[in-house]
Structures are given as C-alpha cells and as structure tokens.
C-alpha cells in the first residue's frame, strides 16, 4: 500500500514539476521538506526496484528519476536568509558555507540530469540500465546530508 501511494505521489510531483507550489512564498521550510520527502519516496521506489522488492518497470524507473531531477532543480530555491530558524533539519553550515552547499546541489542535479538523459523518453530499458542511471544520484545523498543536515 505504501509503495502504491508513493508512486502516485511521485507521478503527481513529477507532473507538477514543482512550479505550482502553493507554499513557496511564505513557508520555504515546509516547501523544501516536501521536496525532500518526494526525494525520499523516489529513493524508496528506486531502491525497492534495485533490491528486487518492487518489480522493475521502465515507467516507474523514469518516474523515480524525473522526481529526483525536479527536486534537484528546485530544492536550492528554498533556503532564504533566516530560514535556518524553526522546525528544520537544515544546518547553519548551509548559510555559512553557501558555496559548499551549492557544490553539493550541483552534484545532485548533474547526476539527476544525466540519469534523465540516460533513461530516454520511455524510461530505462531494464533494471541494469536503471541501476547505472540511478546509482550516481544515490551517491549524492550522503555527502550533502553529512555536512548540511542535522543528524536524527
């Protein structure tokens, strides 16, 4: 059930491309957290297919990749000055070392952009193609979180 819901959410978010976000203007923390939640859902779907817990399909692979790509393109827009305060998992290092954070964002969007290209119009042809495309995107989570996200 959970996976079915996540897939629906991914299709919705990928379709919107985040352009229509209603919270963007007044609640950047909620917006960036919602974007990262979609990344978490896409990682759940993608990781599930990689582990064989979810049956691979090209269209689901493409949905996971498109979600990563949309998130990478929009996430960085929701860190205005002052939004380090409040209910957020973002560390002050984001604002203290803005260039370093931008570099992590650039790695994320480069990997997601490449995965988009590799997956073509119809999605990755098979699971190996999906792993090759998505693997580098997964590689970017940890290095950003390590420095810029609070530990739970």
Residues flagged as binding site for heme c: 141, 144-145
Q: Would you say the C-alpha torsion 96, 100, 106, 108 has a positive or negative sign?
A: negative
**In angstroms, what is the minimal distance from the CB of 106 to ligand HEC?**
9
CA end-to-end span of the chain, whole Å? 26
User: Which residues are annotated as part of the binding site?
Assistant: 141, 144-145
Q: Is there binding between residue 64 and ligand HEC (CB under 6 A)?
A: no
Residues 6+ apart with CB under 8 A from 66: 10, 14, 116
Q: Is there binding between residue 90 and ligand HEC (CB under 6 A)?
A: yes
Q: Which is nearer to ligand HEC, 45 or 58 (CB)?
A: 45
Q: Is there binding between residue 105 and ligand HEC (CB under 6 A)?
A: yes
Residues 2-61 contacting ligand HEC, CB under 6 A? 29, 32-33, 36-37, 39-40, 43
Among 48, 89, 100, 113, binds ligand HEC (CB under 6 A): 89
Q: Would you say the C-alpha torsion 9, 10, 11, 12 has a positive or negative sign?
A: positive
**In angstroms, what is the minimal distance from the CB of 136 to ligand HEC?**
10
Q: Are the beta carbons of 76 and 32 closer than 8 angstroms?
A: no
DSSP 52: T
Q: Are the beta carbons of 6 and 44 closer than 8 angstroms?
A: yes
Binding site for ligand HEC (CB under 6 A): 29, 32-33, 36-37, 39-40, 43, 88-90, 104-105, 108, 137-138, 140-141, 144-145, 148-149
């Amino acid at each position: 059930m959970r996976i079915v819901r996540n897939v629906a959410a991914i299709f919705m978010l990928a379709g919107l491309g985040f352009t229509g976000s209603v919270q963007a203007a007044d609640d950047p923390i909620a917006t960036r957290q919602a974007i990262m939640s979609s990344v978490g859902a896409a990682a759940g779907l993608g990781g599930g297919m990689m582990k064989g817990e979810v049956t691979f399909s090209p269209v689901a692979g493409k949905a996971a990749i498109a979600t990563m790509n949309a998130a990478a393109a929009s996430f960085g827009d929701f860190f205005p000055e002052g939004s380090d305060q409040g209910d957020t998992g973002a560390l002050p290092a984001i604002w203290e070392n803005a260039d370093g954070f931008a570099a992590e964002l650039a790695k994320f969007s480069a990997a997601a952009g490449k995965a988009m290209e590799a997956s073509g119009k119809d999605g990755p042809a098979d699971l190996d193609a999906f792993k090759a495309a998505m693997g580098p995107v997964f590689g970017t989570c940890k290095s950003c979180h390590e420095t810029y996200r609070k530990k739970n």
